[in-house]
Amino acid sequence: EMDGVVIVTIPSEVSQMVVKKAVTFARQLKIPIIGIIENMSSFTCP
């Protein structure tokens, strides 16, 4: 039994389509979505 899922994405249109499918799949299985993390969205060199 799963307590929930954390979905990790990157800022691209292809990734958005995959995330939509993952969210739909999790909802169909009644698995709680704990959060969505956007990776590599911004980085500033020091």
Which residues in the chain come in under a pLDDT of 70? none
Amino acid at 27: R
Q: What pLDDT was estimated at residue 29?
A: 96
Question: Which residue shows structure tokens 């969505």?
Answer: 36
Identify the H or E element spanning 7.
strand 5-9
Q: What pLDDT was estimated at residue 46?
A: 76
Q: What pLDDT was estimated at residue 42?
A: 77
pLDDT digits 0-9 by tens, 21-32: 999 999 999 999
State the Cα–Cα distance between residues 4 and 34, nearest whole angstrom. 6
- The pTM score is 0.77
Q: What pLDDT was estimated at residue 16?
A: 92
